[in-house]
Structure 1
Amino acid sequence: MIYLDYAATTPMSDEALRIYNETAKTFFGNTSSLHDIGSSAARLLEICRKELAKLIHSDENGIYFTSGGTESNILAIRSLIQAHRHKGNHLITTTTEHASLYHLFQQLEAEGYDVTYLPVDSSGIISLKDLEEAITPQTILASIHHANSEIGTIQPIREIGQILRQYKVLFHSDCVQTFGKIHVDVEDMMIDSLSISSHKIYGPKGLGAVYIRPSIKWKPCLPGTTHESGFRPGTVNVPGIASFITAAQQICTNLPNEHARLAQLRQYFIRFIHKNQLPITIEGHPENVLPNIIGLSVHGVDGQYTMLECNRHGIAISTGSACQVGKQAPSRTMIAIGKNKEEAKQFVRISLGKWTTTNDIETVISVLKNICNQFS
């Protein structure tokens, strides 16, 4: 099977697996226990916190470990707005956020918050003018993803951060798809809060992290929580976190070379599509885009058919974000960039990873070419 769905999840790296096994045997104590076994686990946890802080250029005191990207998004947003509710009830996000955030903001609307959903252009980028005009004296927080999980478009995050800091609006960014793929620097990007996930970077599933700038107040979602400084309840998964940080160190160390390699594979695919004039549209921004994601529409062909045909030929791709697969409604991202419902249903996503080769790209191109010929 040729796996081209790395944006959905990644297999664990050998080193991450090795570290998990070793840590599970040696550092199995509860970090809240006062005996030596608990204390040794607590020390390892703090080392992991420091190492992750280095990778995103942040203060280690702002790092909190979670069960993954979805929980990170939910806890970060709720912890921040609960602490700043006295300032107002207005929130800002985009029409193309990950499902975990989109559904959270819908829930917050039902709870009485006023939410502005910023539109995007045909390439998936928000307007900085729209953002500035959306800010009111009642605005508490804006949540704008670093890059879209379906088409890979990267937002002008530093410029967004500058505007929000100028108006003293808290800035959360979902960096689940970008961490380890492109440079993430919370100071340079002027981010107050971000979320990342382990299983997108060859670490174990069920692990993630939140960063909140230590100078910013937040309020625990569940009063009385003791773990992770009250940020999240539940015994801390130290072996999983050690494995997560090992994977993070590996992917960030190799980031420049891997970015270049994946970008070349992506361009190889796109050049072939254009050269052979296949009825396929590459979605997203032509330049400000993640190197590992290729969002595309096969004209006149339902995305689910394309995905199933690829699967029949031993190729794993997706019809969009894994959190949306199975839904009858077309991709929100496709609708947001101007597609009608029928066009939106033609979307599929190919996402590349560390084991993707040129031969893999050529194989998927061959299958796509046959699909196009069937419907020509």
Structure 2
Amino acid sequence: MKIKYFDNAATTQVNQDVIKEMLPYFSIEYGNPSSLYSIGRRAKRALEEARRKIANIINCKPNEIYFTSCGTESDNLAIKGIAYANKEKGKHIITSKIEHPAVLNTCKELEEQGYKVTYLDVNQNGIVNVEQLKASIKTDTILITIMFANNEIGTIQPIEEIGKIAKENNIIFHTDAVQAMGNLKIDVKKLNINALSMSAHKFYAPKGIGALYVGEDVNFKQIQNGGHQEKNKRAGTENLAEIVGMSKALELIYKNFENHNNKIKELRDYYIEKIQSNIVDSKLNGDRINRLPGNANMSFKNINAEELLFELDDKGICASAGSACSSGSTSPSHVLTAIGLPPEWANGTLRVTIGMNNTKEEVDYLINALVEIVNKKINKI
């Protein structure tokens, strides 16, 4: 049975052109970028070229890009690094209630170290309350960290407005853009973003590599000890093959961005329309307009999402639940709780995320399977 993969927000299939770009760095150009001999120097050139490509895509300087192992590490390095380096100015941080655990748990750890954190509310579509943000700013606020787009419900935040507020109040603004990179055009200068996290496996590059943009005027500290790599901010030998792969993946996406995005949006909208018209008790979560192109997070009233996932899996379909069903838990996720989704809806939440490799035939297969499974369950209630 051929797999129909609809969980591209979790991870993506590595692009074949990306694999080809990476291969020489495993077997031929395998030098350490810190070494002085020829293959080390060539490795260093490849490293800096990848840095330059990524910087161009988000409109920053190459020396403002730091390579990490993933989005989680990028979030940790940004938030802790900025908090530790600026603690003399203040120890207050503002974030939202729907951030990724990489942000929320990092903030909780900082709270244990004496920092104060304000968690902003969101509306029913998952949009941050900007007025509450303004009201939460204090004289000792040093950092605002708000995700660019939500990993569960796909809602895109008013990043430009938040960046403007942060700049007007001389506060550093970090955004977790793990879900946004490759799906949205991002200009860190225009949006007044001071720090931004990304993870390669979300845009058709390998797992195990990420990057962090930090503006050169932002003071931040390294959080792990070791060597001199990444301008003394992130110790450890650079994962050159995957860094090259990450830059190639972004280059390919943004070279053909409009066609790439339009195809995904059309499939997403087609899926949403068909599900809503064929399943009575269905509900789209997140903002209908300001959402990621491939994200369709939908709830089905009084349906068990874990059972739904298993039945879809039996038909070769990969998707994810919007509630924490692992380990027997039926508690709604913190995101669904924050948007006020009642349990009878939250526990039946399915996140479908469409990617560039999905076809209309696959989407039709998903629609037919989902309509059949859900309506059969509804008829038994």
TM-score strictly above 0.5: yes
- Given that 2:322 and 2:346 are in contact with CA atoms closer than 8 Å, whether structure 1 keeps it comes out as no
Shift of 1:108: 1.2
Distance 1:16 1:354 in 2: 14
- Which of 53, 56, 59 does residue 54 from structure 1 map onto? 56
Residue identity opposite 1:18 in structure 2: K
Q: Deviations over 1:262-293 (max 9, x none)?
A: 11111111221233353111110011001111
The amino acid that maps onto 2:23 is N
Partner of 2:72: 70
Structure 2 residue aligned with 1:27, among 29, 32, 43?
A: 29
Q: Distance in 2 between matches of 1:325 and 1:209?
A: 30
TM-score (norm 2): 0.95
Q: Which runs of 5+ in 1 are unaligned?
A: none
Deviating more after overlay: 26-35 vs 261-270: 26-35
Counterpart of 1:271 in structure 2 is: 273
Within a 5 Å distance, the mapping from 1:181-330 to structure 2 comes to 181-223=183-225, 225-320=227-322, 326=326, 328=329, 329-330=331-332
Deviation at 1:337, TM superposition (A): 0.3
Indicate the residue corresponding to 1:368 in structure 2.
370
Is contact 1:93-1:118 (8 Å) kept?
yes
Range that drifts further, 279-288 or 221-230: 221-230
1:149, distance to aligned residue in structure 2 (A): 0.5
2:48 corresponds to 1:40: no
Alpha-carbon separation, structure 1, partners of 2:363 and 2:39 = 49
**1:92-132: CA deviation from partner (whole Å, max 9, x where unpaired):** 11110111111111111111111000010000001110110
* CA positional deviation for 1:44: 1.2
Query: Does the 8 Å contact 1:4/1:351 carry over to 2?
Result: yes
Indicate which of 349, 354, 370 corresponds to 2:356: 354
Superposition RMSD on alpha carbons, in Å?
1.4
Partner of 1:88: 90
Map of 1:103-142 to 2, 5 A cutoff?
Answer: 103-142=105-144
Q: Distance in 2 between matches of 1:334 and 1:159?
A: 24
Q: 1:155: how far off?
A: 0.3
Residues 225 and 231, structure 1, Cα contact 8 Å, conserved in 2: no
Q: 1:25 to 1:4 in 2, by over 3 A?
A: same
Shift of 1:251: 1.1
Query: Is the contact made by 1:279 and 1:372 (CA closer than 8 Å) also made in structure 2?
Result: no
Q: 1:158 aligns with which of 154, 157, 160?
A: 160
Counterpart residue identity of residue 256, structure 2: N
Number of residue pairs aligned between Structure 1 and Structure 2? 374
Report the alpha carbon displacement of residue 359 of structure 1 after superposing the two structures with TM: 1.4
1:136-176 Cα shifts (integer Å, max 9, x gaps): 00101011000000110000100000001100111000111
Distance 2:161 2:228 in 1: 36
Shift of 1:320: 3.8
Write the distance in 1 (CA, Å) between the matches of 2:124 and 2:373. Answer: 26
Instruction: Choose which of 171, 181, 193 in structure 2 pairs with 1:179.
Output: 181
SS of the counterpart of 1:33?
coil
Given the two structures, how large is their TM-score scaled by the length of structure 1? 0.96
> Partners in 2 of 1:27 and 1:34 — Cα distance?
14
Task: Identify the residue that residue 331 of structure 1 maps to in structure 2.
Answer: 333
Q: Secondary structure at the match of 1:308?
A: helix
Structure 2: 5+ residue runs without aligned partners?
none
> What is the identity percentage for the equivalent residue pairs of Structure 1 and Structure 2?
36
Q: Following TM superposition, by how much is the alpha carbon of 1:222 offset from its aligned partner in structure 2, in angstroms? A: 3.1
Q: SS of the counterpart of 1:86?
A: coil
Note closer, same or farther for the CA distance 1:275–1:347 as it changes in structure 2 (3 Å cut): closer
Q: One-letter code of the match for 1:246? A: K
Of stretches 312-321 and 347-356 in structure 1, the one that deviates more from structure 2 is 312-321
How far apart, in 2, do the equivalents of 1:326 and 1:5 lie?
Answer: 16
Distance 1:194 1:325 in 2: 30
CA distance in 1, matches of 2:137, 2:249: 38
C-alpha separation in 2, matches of 1:267 and 1:83: 45
Q: State the alpha-carbon separation in 2 of the partners of residues 336 and 104 from structure 1.
A: 19
Pairwise CA distance, 1:340? 3.3
1:79 to 73, 78, 81: 81
Q: Deviations over 1:167-196 (max 9, x none)?
A: 011100011101111111101111000001
Match of 2:169 among 143, 146, 167: 167
Kept in 2: contact 1:283–1:297 (CA 8 A): yes
